[in-house]
Amino acid sequence: MKNLYCFKQIYNNGKSERRLSLGEYKRAVSWSKYLVSSGAEIKGEGEGGWSADMSQLFIGNKFASGRHSRIYRGVYKQRDVAIKLISQPEEDENLATMLENHFTSEVALLFRLRHPNIITSEFVAACKKPPVFCIITEYLAGGSLRKFLHQQEPYSVPLDLVLKLALDIAHGMQYLHSQGILHRDLKSENLLLGEDMSVKVADFGISCLESHCGNAKGFTGTYRWMAPEMIKEKHHTKKVDVYSFGIVLWELLTAMTPFDNMTPEQAAFAVCQKVNSSDSFYWMMVMTNGSGADSSTEMHLPHMLEHCDYNQSHVPVPNARPPLPPKCPLAFSHLINRCWSSNPDKRPHFDQIVAILESYSESLEQDAEFFTSYKPPTNHTILRCFPKLIAGRRSASVKA
Ligand SMILES: Nc1ncnc2c1ncn2[C@@H]1O[C@H](COP(=O)(O)OP(=O)(O)OP(=O)(O)O)[C@@H](O)[C@H]1O
């Protein structure tokens, strides 16, 4: 009853305007009971492991779900939080192990990251009996960037907003890379919006320290946003995030889903194929077997790509990328083409991307017509900007 009272108090006095229904209060109590009185060992951040003050945690309504998680609104120490509960399936040992690994890695990374464009974690708790993992982060009222874009008409997001959102994402990613971390699942669904339209990078379930990433075997990222070298389960570097950033930039400009006329597998296949290179048999397999599930990696696509006969040409669009909008400003199309280049070495670093976007932002402040008058830089301009890029790289970790 005391918990119920606290929850009500917090919701009435705190930032949130909305009152919870009776059902929600009941659920809040039953959830905290479930976690506290299950006899489970609940650990949170603290000496020697994770320890969480569960008496301070109140769980409200479920408002979103991931592939293996449910996300609830809640209050922790009078702050609005999002509570991600990941249950381990007892019947599938491999999946259970994978989820536990994702949880451990997400938690380890979340606690070392502090940046205005990276989601902040409040604490984590792991509850082993029944097997439920719990990650509590700040609550971002704007929801995901994907949700926001799906509410917009195609090509309707104003260019200054595109630029602002892109810069926020690039700053977050610049910081992440300065910490030696690869995100590996950068997409609009994993970018969350604050009430002030600031963007924060979230979901570090399959992130890794660059030195420990290995190849992408058995990888569960999302094909539509995935760099070709990762689809093929090859060695990969920070540049896979730059590729995904190119796709996110395309989403911002179009407000559409990349490759929405293809299944994820078809998209993966089309993205990886060189000009005049395909095998109609394999293409047909992809065409007919595509499951339509974004997360599916179970059809051995990397293996198929490896064994393609590159002499025939039946893939509709080789080395495909989503079509750029007909009126796409040169400033963006130039950057996007570099970011999603098939050759990772040709993709810029986030330091460079930030410098480029900041220069667009400065130019736009001085000249409202900047996007129509923009001309791509010559080698001479690039050389002039070089000292600024180096300075940006040095200051990335300091800023955070
Ligand atoms: N802190 C938060 N504030 C607001 N919304 C959130 C927050 N965390 C997650 N969400 C919402 O929940 C959705 C799923 O979250 P998240 O991607 O972290 O779960 P997941 O289990 O990793 O999902 P998947 O494995 O399918 O990518 C997000 O796209 C977003 O809409």
Domain boundaries, the chain: 5-138, 145-258+322-387
d(CA 210, CA 182): 6
Mean pLDDT of 327-345: 95
Q: Is the peptide bond before 323 cis (omega within 30 degrees of 0)?
A: no
Phi, psi of 260 (to 5 degrees): -70, -10
State pLDDT tens for residues 214-251.
765 666 668 999 999 999 888 889 999 999 999 999 99
347 lines ligand 1 (CB under 6 A): no
Radius of gyration of the chain from Cα atoms? Answer: 23
CA distances from 248 to 191, 328, 372 (A): 10, 14, 22
pLDDT band at 373 (very low <50, low <70, confident <90, very high): confident
272 lines ligand 1 (CB under 6 A): no
CA distances from 84 to 19, 66, 207, 223 (A): 21, 9, 17, 24
Mutate to test the pocket of ligand 1, among 65, 110, 203, 244 (most ligand atoms within 8 A of CB): 203
Ligand 1 center–CA 331 separation, angstroms = 31
Mean pLDDT of 169-191: 96
Ligand 1 center–CA 146 separation, angstroms = 11
Mutate to test the pocket of ligand 1, among 16, 63, 69 (most ligand atoms within 8 A of CB): 69
State pLDDT tens for residues 35-92.
433 334 444 444 334 445 667 778 888 998 877 788 999 888 788 889 888 877 777 7
Ligand 1 atom 1: residue of nearest CA: 139
pLDDT cut 90: percent of the chain above it: 41
191 lines ligand 1 (CB under 6 A): no
Would you please indicate which residues are annotated as catalytic (active-site) residues? Answer: 185
Ligand 1 atom 31: residue of nearest CA: 144
Which distant-in-sequence residues (6+ apart) come within 8 Å of 338 by Cβ? 246, 346, 347, 348
Q: Are 141 and 232 in contact (CB under 8 A)?
A: no
Q: Is a pLDDT exceeding 90 seen at residue 200? A: yes
Ligand 1 center–CA 202 separation, angstroms = 8
99 lines ligand 1 (CB under 6 A): no
Q: Please name every residue paired with 73 in a beta bridge, in sequence order, or none if there are none.
A: 82
Mutate to test the pocket of ligand 1, among 80, 107, 192, 220 (most ligand atoms within 8 A of CB): 192
d(CA 285, CA 304): 9
Tell me the ipTM for this assembly: 0.94
Nearest atom (ligand 1) to Cα of 203: 18
CATH class name, domain 5-138: alpha beta
d(CA 56, CA 228): 45
Among 97-111, 211-225, 256-270, 322-336, name the one with the lowest average pLDDT: 211-225
Question: What is the bridge-based pairing of β-strands 199-201 and 79-87?
Answer: unpaired
Q: Is a pLDDT exceeding 70 seen at residue 12? A: no
d(CA 72, CA 241): 28
**145-258+322-387 carries CATH number 3.40.1080.10:** no
| Residue 393 confidence (pLDDT) | 56
182 lines ligand 1 (CB under 6 A): no
DSSP 225: G
Ligand 1 center–CA 190 separation, angstroms = 7
The count of other CB atoms within 10 Å of the CB of residue 219 is 17
**Identical fold between 5-138 and 145-258+322-387:** no
Which H/E stretch holds residue 59? strand 57-65
Ligand 1 atom 12: residue of nearest CA: 64
233 lines ligand 1 (CB under 6 A): no
**Which two tokens mark 322?**
């989503």
d(CA 198, CA 185): 19
Ligand 1 center–CA 84 separation, angstroms = 8
207 lines ligand 1 (CB under 6 A): no
| Residue 105 confidence (pLDDT) | 76
Nearest to 236 by CA among 218, 206, 215: 215
